[in-house]
Amino acid sequence: MKIGIIGAGGVGAYFAAALSQAGHDVHLLVTPRHLEPIRDNGIRLTTGDGRDERIPVAGVNTDAAVIGQCDAVIIACKAGSVAEVMSTAFPLLGSDTPVLPLQNGVTAASQITAAAGPGHAIGGLCMIISYLAEPGHVHHVGGQPAVTLGELDGSPSARTRELADALTSAGIAARISRDITTDLWRKFMLITAYGGIGALCRRNVGETRSHPHTRALVEDAMREVADVGTAAGANLTSDDVDITMGHYDAFTPDSTASMQRDLIAGRPSELEEQNGAVVRIAAVHGVAVPINSTIYRALSILDTTSSTAGAGPSS
Ligand SMILES: NC(=O)C1=CN([C@@H]2O[C@H](COP(=O)(O)OP(=O)(O)OC[C@H]3O[C@@H](n4cnc5c(N)ncnc54)[C@H](OP(=O)(O)O)[C@@H]3O)[C@@H](O)[C@H]2O)C=CC1
Ligand SMILES: CC(C)(CO)C(=O)C(=O)O
């Protein structure tokens, strides 16, 4: 498949390397700082289990017009950049090209549709722990990378099947969902709750789940997000909080969420698209989310992406 990947960070560079290694015709659309390293040396992939290899990709460019139409496009920027990225992506799209977002959060597909019109956005999420060591060098920390994807209306389609087969051929566990919107909300419950509380306490999963108060806070925050998701149309049941707490319990104890790591390191984070989005969507549906609102407002001071970061107390 000719696959366009936008963004060569922790996720994009990993997926580009894995899909290229499986023989796919992968073209990266990147910001300028990634161009030379990838064009000259391919992608260097190091893994937690000791692999260290350089994998060439078919193409890397800063101009989508040079890449041209693709059979599928994967969006691998941060959630806050999806709208901007899509405004440059049109040359990658044929009339039926699926666009698969892998962002955390629940807003990427609607932003793709707003930019590209109907018929392109499918729903998607990924499970992976990877980060960019430097442009062109991605580190996959461990675990089996996995993607869940599906048409937004739940219908089976040849294009999601082809994309899932391509991902599978690259060693990525791909699952086609008949209700991707609900799956997105399930992951959203998990990351906003443990990432938000973990960032507030500056503690990893092993610590927040072992302390009765922080464990209860994570569970209550999750329940708020489930209520918002249900109000927004996701098909969540009362079991979903228990199941999601099970995922929280299954993480290795030293795990942290990516938003939490970004906030603590002073990097731009996805706070706006995670707990911030919970607060905004809750307001639309009239759902009370006091814990998420507290997480969002308290962490805003650390968020270098936010216009209110570091604003200090008003007089
Ligand atoms: N990394 C992980 O382990 C996981 C990440 N996710 C989600 O995946 C998404 C991506 O995360 P991650 O890869 O870690 O983030 P990174 O910040 O590592 O990568 C995002 C990349 O997008 C690039 N980018 C931004 N704007 C553009 C543009 N206009 N054109 C081309 N490239 C652009 C950035 O360029 P530049 O380098 O110049 O800023 C950056 O390299 C996030 O939503 C995250 O929550 C989900 C599961 C796990
Ligand atoms: C839950 C996890 C680690 C899964 O990939 C993630 O998405 C994140 O930390 O943001």
Q: What pLDDT digit, counting tens, does each position of 102-127 carry? A: 999 999 999 999 999 999 999 999 99
Residue 315, domain member (yes or no): no
Minimum CA distance residue for ligand 2 atom 7: 127
Lining residues, ligand 2, CB within 6 Å = 104, 127-129, 191, 257-258
Q: What is the pLDDT of residue 308?
A: 52
Residue 310 pLDDT > 80: no
Residues 15 and 160 occupy one common structural domain: yes
Which domain, by its residues, includes 249?
181-302
Across the range 187-199, mean pLDDT stands at 98
The residue ranking higher by pLDDT, 306 or 86, is 86
Number of domains into which the chain is organized: 2
Q: What is the pLDDT of residue 130?
A: 94
Residues 174 and 190 occupy one common structural domain: no
Across the range 128-156, mean pLDDT stands at 95
- What is the distance between the alpha carbons of residues 162 and 158, in angstroms, rounded to a whole number? 6
131 SS3 class:
strand
Q: Which residues contact 253 (CB under 8 A, 6 or more apart)?
A: 204, 205, 206, 207
Residue 311, domain member (yes or no): no
What the block records as the tokens of 274 is 């995670």
Q: Last residue of some domain: 128, 159, 178?
A: 178
Across the range 223-245, mean pLDDT stands at 97
> If we measure between CA atoms, which residue out of 216, 196, 158 comes closest to residue 298?
196
pLDDT above 90 as % of the chain: 95
Pairing label, strands 173-176, 52-55: unpaired
pLDDT level of residue 238 (50, 70, 90 thresholds): confident
- What is the distance between the alpha carbons of residues 273 and 259, in angstroms, rounded to a whole number? 10
Minimum CA distance residue for ligand 2 atom 2: 127
Which ligand neighbours the alpha carbon of 194 most closely?
2
Residue 312, domain member (yes or no): no
Residues 173 and 256 occupy one common structural domain: no
Residue 131 pLDDT > 60: yes
Average of per-residue pLDDT values in the chain: 95
Residues 125 and 194 occupy one common structural domain: no
- ipTM above threshold 0.95: yes
Q: Last residue of some domain: 178, 209, 243?
A: 178
pTM, two decimals, is 0.95
Residues 36 and 7 occupy one common structural domain: yes
Residues 163 and 185 occupy one common structural domain: no
What the block records as the tokens of 52 is 């260290």
Pocket test for ligand 2, best of 129, 189, 267, 271 (most atoms within 8 A of CB): 129
Q: Last residue of some domain: 178, 205, 223?
A: 178
Residue 64, domain member (yes or no): yes
Burial of 187-220, coded b for 16+ CB within 10 Å and e otherwise, reads bbbbbbbbbbbbbbeebbbeebbeeeebbebbbe
Residues 74 and 91 occupy one common structural domain: yes
pLDDT level of residue 305 (50, 70, 90 thresholds): confident
Residue 315 pLDDT > 80: no
